[in-house]
Structure 1
Amino acid sequence: MPRILQRIWEIARKKALLAAAVWTLCAAAVAAAAVTPNDTPWRIAVHEAAVITGDTVTLGEIAQPMGPMPDALWQKLSATELWPSPEADGRSMGVNRDKLEQALEHYLGDTAQLCLLPDRLVLRRGGTLVQQDELASLVVKTLTPRARALGGEVAFRDYRLPDKIFLKDSTDTLVVVPDDEKIQPGRVSFWFEERDLRGETVRKISASVFLDCFKDVMVAAEPVNRNTPLTPDMVTTRRINAAFLKGEPWDGMGGPWRVTRPVGENQPLYKDDLESLPLVRRGEAVELVFEGKFVTLRTMAQALDDAGPGEPVRVRNMQSQQEVYARVRDAHTVVVR
C-alpha cells in the first residue's frame, strides 16, 4: 500500500511540473509579444498624478494595465523600479512627456512602447491623492441634501474643480464647505478644506459648481400691462430653471394684486412685480367725509392717487377744487378728521 501511495505522489508531481512548464512558456510568449504593439491586446496607462510610498518609484505606483494583460505579468512589471522618489517635504515632482518617455525606455526597454503617456506626470512622496472625479463625487454628496431643500428637480453641472488634490498626510480628510449656509440655484461657490486628525484646517482650496433647480413657477398666461389687476385667467404655471430667475417668484398666494410693470406671455411673475390692488384708484369719484367733534360733513371728491385700505390719499374737493389728504375707509369713502 505505501508503494501505491508513493507512485500516485510521483505522478501528481510530474503533472504539476508539466503545468508549471506550460505556464512559464505561456508567460514567456506573452512577454515576447509585449514588445510588438500591433500584436499586443493590452497597454500600460501612466497616470497624470501619483503618490509614492518608498524611496524608489515603481511602475505599479504610476500606472495601471489596460486590456487583457495576464495578472502574473502585471505583478512582475508593476514591481519594476524606476527612478528615485521625490523628497518627503511635501513638494511635488513634475515630469513632462518627453522625459517620461526617455525614462521608461531606459527602465522598461521595449515594453515602453506599450505605455500610454500623459502630457505631464506629477509625483509626491507620501500623503493621499484625490482625483477630480472623486472631488466631484464629494461635492454632490455634500451639497445634494441642501439642494433638495429648494424643492423641484436639482442637478449639478459645470464643475470648476482642481484636477487633483494632494493631501499632505494620509490621515487627513477633505470636506466641502459652502460659502453660504443656504445654497441657491446658480453658481455655488465653496471650499475644499483639508483637515487633520484634530479637525483643524490645514489648507483651503476654492472651487464652484452650477446648480440647476427646475420647478413650477407662476407665469403670465398672456401679456399683462402695468397697473392691470391680476385675475386667475391671466396666470398659469411653467417649468423653469430657478437658476435663471431674476428675483423671488410669486407663490400664487394673497391678493388681490395688480402688476407694477408690463409682463410678457410665459414670463415669470415675481413678488416685486405685484402690489395690493388699491381700494381707491386715481381718477375715481369718492365720498369725502369731514368728521369733526360735533359735526360731520360729506361731499364728493376725486382721488388723485391710488391707495389701499387705511392709507392716506390725495383728493380734490369737487365743489371747492381744494386738494386735501384723507385716509381710505373703503372703496368709496375717504375721511378727514
Structure 2
Amino acid sequence: MTMMYSRFKVQSSKLFSGFIVGLLPLFILLGISGYLFAAGMTAIRLLEKAEVEKDKIRLGEIARIKCEDPELAKELRAIVIGKAPLPGRTRQIDEQYIRLRLKQNAIDLSQISLHVPRKVEVFRGFVEISKEKIKKIVLDFIHQKIPWNRSRVRVKDVRVNRNVILPKGKITYEVILPKNTDFLGTIPLSVIFRVNRHFQKRVWATVSIEMLAEVVITRRPLRRYQLITEDDIRLQKMDLAELPSNIITSCEEVLGKRTKSAINANVVLRSDLVELPPLVRRGDVVLMIAESDGLKITALGEVRERGRRGERIRVVNLDSKREIYARVLDSKTVKVDF
C-alpha cells in the first residue's frame, strides 16, 4: 500500500513538471508579444513646465516624444496645441485639451501612451528693454541727426514712459520723428520695435534740446524810427528753442536800419521790429533810368510814395506826366524795369 502511494506521487510530480514545461513556450511567446506591442507604442510625456519663444505652442516644445516612426515623430512635434501667452506670461493646459488637440490632428490615441501632469504650465520667453536703454537709443539718434554744431547743442532731458517687453528673437528698432522737425525745444518721437521683422511695440518719448547761439539785444531803449548804431546793440548767448524763428543773430543785419516802433532795453531784436529807412519820399525828384539793348534813357521823375532800397515805387515822368513803376537804387536814382 505504501509502495503504490509512492509510485502514484512520483507519477503526479512528473505529470505536473511536464505540464509546466509544456506551458513555458506559451509564456515566452506571450511575453515577447507583449514586449513587441509595448515597443511599437508611441509615448508622449508632457512636461510640468515648459518655455516657448514663438506665438504658437507646439507639442514638441512642451513634451518628450518617443516614436519609432521618424515621420510620425516629426508630425507630432509640429502639432499646434494653441496660442502662446504674451511674453513674460504663462498659460495652463490640461490633459483633456491635449487629447482634443491630438484628435483634431487625426492622431489615433489608441496607439499613444500619453502621460500628462495635472497641469501643464507654459511660459513665454521674453526680452525686457529698460527705459534707460530706450533713452540711449533716442539720444544716439538725436546726436546723429541734429543739424547743429554739437558744441552748441545740449540735450537737457530724455523722457520715456515705460520699459518694453518683447518676445525672444532678432530685435530691431526704428526712431520716428515728426515731419519738419527743427530739433529745438521739446520734440516728441516714437521708437518702433520689431522682432524677426514683425512689428511688436511702439514706445513714445520726448527730448528737450537746448541750442545756444548769439542773438542781437538792445542795450538801451530805442525810439520809433531811430537809426540803429553799434552803441545801441550787443550780442548775448541764448537758447534758440525759447525764441521765435525770426530773431536776428548778426549785428550787420540791423546796423543802418531803423526801428518800426519804440523798443525797450534788453529786448531780442526780430526782423519784424526793424526796417530799412526809406531812401526816397513822396514829392522827391529823382533821376529815372531805363536801359534796353545797349540803349540808355534818362528823365526826371517825381516820387509818389516813399521807398527803400530795392523796392518798386510809383514815379511820374515830369516830361510825359505818365505814371510808371521803378525800383529804388539810392536816394537820387530809380530804375525802370522793362
Which TM-score applies when normalising by structure 2? 0.51
Which residue does 1:330 correspond to in 2?
330
Query: What percent of counterpart residues are identical?
Result: 20
Q: What runs of 5+ residues in structure 1 fail to find an aligned partner?
A: 1-53, 57-86, 95-123
Q: Larger radius of gyration, structure 1 or 2? A: 2
Which residue does 1:265 correspond to in 2?
265
Letter in 2 for 1:307: R
Give the drift of 1:191. 1.2
Which residue does 2:154 correspond to in 1?
155
What is the DSSP-based 3-state SS (H/G/I as helix, E as strand, rest coil) of the residue aligned with 2:208? strand
Give the drift of 1:170. 4.3
Structure 2: distance between partners of 1:297 and 1:91: 87
Q: What runs of 5+ residues in structure 2 fail to find an aligned partner?
A: 1-48, 52-82, 91-122
Give the drift of 1:194. 0.5
Contact conserved, 2:184 with 2:240, CA < 8 A, in 1? yes
Contact conserved, 2:224 with 2:260, CA < 8 A, in 1? yes
Which residue does 1:11 correspond to in 2?
none
Which aligned segments of 4 or more residues in structure 1 are displaced greater than 6 angstroms? 290-296
Which of 203, 214, 219 aligns to 1:221? It is 219
Which residue does 1:82 correspond to in 2?
none
**Pairs within 5 Å for 1:103-182:** 125-147=124-146, 149-150=148-149, 153-180=152-179
Q: Deviations over 1:118-158 (max 9, x none)?
A: xxxxxx84221122222222222221233462555333345
Which TM-score applies when normalising by structure 1? 0.51
**Pairs within 5 Å for 1:35-74:** none
Q: Deviations over 1:238-291 (max 9, x none)?
A: 1211111111432325574344455432222234544444432x3573336598
Structure 2: distance between partners of 1:295 and 1:212: 56
After superposition, the CA RMSD in angstroms is: 4.2
Which of 87, 90, 98 aligns to 2:86? It is 90
Q: Taking structure 1 as reference, are residues 283 and 174 closer, same or farther at Cα in structure 2, changes over 3 Å only?
A: same
What is the DSSP-based 3-state SS (H/G/I as helix, E as strand, rest coil) of the residue aligned with 1:330? coil
Structure 1: distance between partners of 2:297 and 2:241: 60
Which residue does 1:279 correspond to in 2?
279
Structure 1: distance between partners of 2:213 and 2:236: 8
Q: Taking structure 1 as reference, are residues 166 and 288 closer, same or farther at Cα in structure 2, changes over 3 Å only?
A: same
Find out whether 1:231 has 2:229 as its counterpart: yes
Q: Deviations over 1:301-322 (max 9, x none)?
A: 465322324x33245899xxx8
What is the DSSP-based 3-state SS (H/G/I as helix, E as strand, rest coil) of the residue aligned with 2:189? strand
Q: Deviations over 1:9-43 (max 9, x none)?
A: xxxxxxxxxxxxxxxxxxxxxxxxxxxxxxxxxxx
Contact conserved, 2:164 with 2:201, CA < 8 A, in 1? no
Which residue does 1:304 correspond to in 2?
305
What is the DSSP-based 3-state SS (H/G/I as helix, E as strand, rest coil) of the residue aligned with 1:140? helix
Contact conserved, 1:146 with 1:183, CA < 8 A, in 2? no
Letter in 1 for 2:85: D
Give the drift of 1:210. 1.5
Q: Taking structure 1 as reference, are residues 177 and 325 closer, same or farther at Cα in structure 2, changes over 3 Å only?
A: same
Contact conserved, 1:212 with 1:243, CA < 8 A, in 2? yes
Structure 1: distance between partners of 2:283 and 2:162: 67
Contact conserved, 1:287 with 1:332, CA < 8 A, in 2? yes
Structure 1: distance between partners of 2:152 and 2:86: 42
Query: Would you say how many aligned residue pairs link Structure 1 and Structure 2?
Result: 220
